[in-house]
Structure 1
Amino acid sequence: MGSKKTYQLTRPVFFIGFMGAGKTTVTRRLARMCGLASVDVDRCLERAFDMRAKELFLRCGEERFRDLEADQLEELVAGDPLLISCGGGIVMGARSRAIIRERGFAVYLKVTPEESASRISDHSTRPYLESMESFRAASSARLPYYAQLADVTVDTKGASVGKLAWDIRCILLKRGVLCQTSK
């Protein structure tokens, strides 16, 4: 009787990148592929405050929203290591950047503003989608933070979710962030 391969994380893995990069989708696929737990920071905030992330952002303002994201990250890294899908703007908060840098491994899913806009079907759920100019400006402001925090950068252009998840799995195994165990 063969033993089933299972995996465990040695530290949290943060998926960062601009909206529409596929952070949540890739995180979920990787979690299923490896039998790991995953979580989406925006969904956690939506459940905690019983409103959409965009509504929360508009109601409390960016500074307070970034504090709430950092509080959520603190909670998530206090437990067992998880695959964590971060909101696109989480890198704008200094506290969140410190948590990502010091407490885990960051996978930057790279996407152009144009690709990102084309992937988002419901623009009403996202801040900054009033115009392509505002979209590009937001992406441009965040780009240096994504690059600075990234332990690895994965270009999403033309890649399927399955391929991205598989490639990231291989990277995490090679880097010792993901370890194979047997049960």
Structure 2
Amino acid sequence: MLQTHAPIWPWKGKPIVLVGLMGVGKTTVGRRLAQRMRLPFVDADHEIEAAAGLTISEIFERFGEPHFRDGERRVIARLIDGTPKVIATGGGAFLNEATRALILDQAIAIWLDAEPAVLAERVGRRNTRPLLRGKDPHTVLTELAKVRNPFYALAPVRVQSVAAPHDFTVEEILKAIAP
């Protein structure tokens, strides 16, 4: 049985920002982490969609990735306002130098890391990822990991996301950030 810790309440620290590849569980784990810590949860991708009035896929199709990344940077800057919360970012957000600098300065960045095989199995359940359309998920995720992991490694906290219930990952995060 999974041993749980009491929530860290009240959390008076910086916002917590989850970074990592698609499929690692940033949104699902983020929601559960926020609930455990009694904090608001915000998904940056949902905020981008609300601001644009379009889905992420539509933004990519109509305007391209550079336009999406610019909007993503602006939305994340708005979300990191100094108030305690848990923020899930898109997989490419932390690669943007300005976004990464803001997160590292104003928040606690937590890299949720997982093997490409685990990620490929997770993302294969839905066809909503623009970077995977018509491609082999394992191949794409392996290539993305090669490029992106050095950036994610700049996060001060790294938690391995394994093929286990998401509450296990939440517990690992709580242990990592406990005072």
The code of the aligned residue for 2:168 comes to K
Contact 1:66–1:92 under 8 Å retained in 2: no
Q: Counterparts of 1:5 and 1:19 in 2: how far apart (Å)? A: 27
Greater RCO between the two (CA within 8 Å, min separation 6)? 1
Mapping of 1:26-41 within 5 angstroms?
26-41=29-44
Higher strand share: 1
Indicate the residue corresponding to 1:157 in structure 2: 162
The code of the aligned residue for 1:141 comes to V
The code of the aligned residue for 1:172 comes to I
Q: Counterparts of 2:20 and 2:12 in 1: how far apart (Å)? A: 21
Deviation of residue 121 (structure 1)?
4.2
Q: Counterparts of 1:5 and 1:91 in 2: how far apart (Å)? A: 26
Deviations 1:76-117 (A, max 9, x none): 112512111010111221111111111111110001222111
Deviations 1:120-179 (A, max 9, x none): 24442102222243332222211110012x1111111133211211221232222xxxxx
Indicate the residue corresponding to 2:23 in structure 1: 20
The code of the aligned residue for 1:41 comes to A
Indicate the residue corresponding to 1:177 in structure 2: none
Asked if 1:146 is matched to 2:152, the reply is yes
Q: What is the DSSP-based 3-state SS (H/G/I as helix, E as strand, rest coil) of the residue aligned with 2:172?
A: helix
Deviation of residue 21 (structure 1)?
0.4
Deviations 1:37-70 (A, max 9, x none): 1100001111112222122123222222111111
Q: Counterparts of 2:116 and 2:12 in 1: how far apart (Å)? A: 31
Q: Counterparts of 2:58 and 2:175 in 1: how far apart (Å)? A: 37
Q: Point out the more displaced range, 60-69 or 10-19.
A: 60-69
Q: Counterparts of 1:124 and 1:75 in 2: how far apart (Å)? A: 29
The code of the aligned residue for 2:74 comes to D
Indicate the residue corresponding to 2:3 in structure 1: none
Contact 1:128–1:135 under 8 Å retained in 2: no
Q: Counterparts of 1:31 and 1:68 in 2: how far apart (Å)? A: 24
Q: Counterparts of 1:74 and 1:5 in 2: how far apart (Å)? A: 25
Q: Counterparts of 1:60 and 1:92 in 2: how far apart (Å)? A: 19
Runs of 4+ in 1 over 4 A off after TM superposition: none
Q: Counterparts of 2:17 and 2:77 in 1: how far apart (Å)? A: 13
The code of the aligned residue for 2:25 comes to G
Change (3 A) 1:17 1:56: same
Indicate the residue corresponding to 1:99 in structure 2: 102
- Unpaired stretches in structure 1, ≥5 consecutive residues: 175-183
Mapping of 1:87-126 within 5 angstroms?
87-126=90-129
The match for 1:43 among 41, 46, 63 is: 46
Asked if 1:66 is matched to 2:72, the reply is no
Contact 2:82–2:106 under 8 Å retained in 1: no
- TM-score, length basis structure 2: 0.86
- Unpaired stretches in structure 2, ≥5 consecutive residues: 1-6
